[in-house]
Structure 1
Amino acid sequence: MKPALREQILTILAAIPEGRVTTYGRIAAMTDGATPRLVARALRELPEGHALPWFRVITASRRLAEHPGAPEQRQRLLAEGVPFDTRGRVTAEALWP
């Protein structure tokens, strides 16, 4: 991945407000050529101890992606007041932008 594209992704990630979420696809659409998979890759490659809100990124179906950090992701989102519906999806009102 080109460093400039990674920087765009991380800049967008840093801008997601507390209590809101966005999707891999929405982040990709805000860049100069990233795909949702590239966004996911950039998040997987974040260094240990970073302060970026990776947990505010969800799938297009408004669910948490299946990964080892999903339980922590859900806890962090709930702590920020992000609502989930009865089917386990984040409510549409929480989507940003």
Structure 2
Amino acid sequence: MKDTKYQKFNISINIGDKPYKVFDLQIQPEDTTDGVPFYICETNGVEISRLRKDEKNQWEQIWGDLDTRTINNIGKAIEMHDSSRF
């Protein structure tokens, strides 16, 4: 059986403050040396952000220029995807 822990997956998410603007994102989980995964977020093949959870279990952006609301929305979608795999 193939390990799906770090396979790319897709989500649709609102980015920014305009509720009618929905983007399809490709999310690529990656491992780190400290064991906390980060997530590369791309749209149309262009990387727009890298996210991970901080020590307080809050989503943070380690690369990119997304607003806090968008970061949290993407984080929630990642959590929903991860929880649906088990």
TM score, norm. by length of structure 2: 0.31
Q: Which has the higher helix share?
A: 1
The structure carrying a bigger strand percent of its residues is: 2
Higher RCO (CA 8 Å, separation ≥ 6 residues): 1
TM-score (norm 1): 0.29
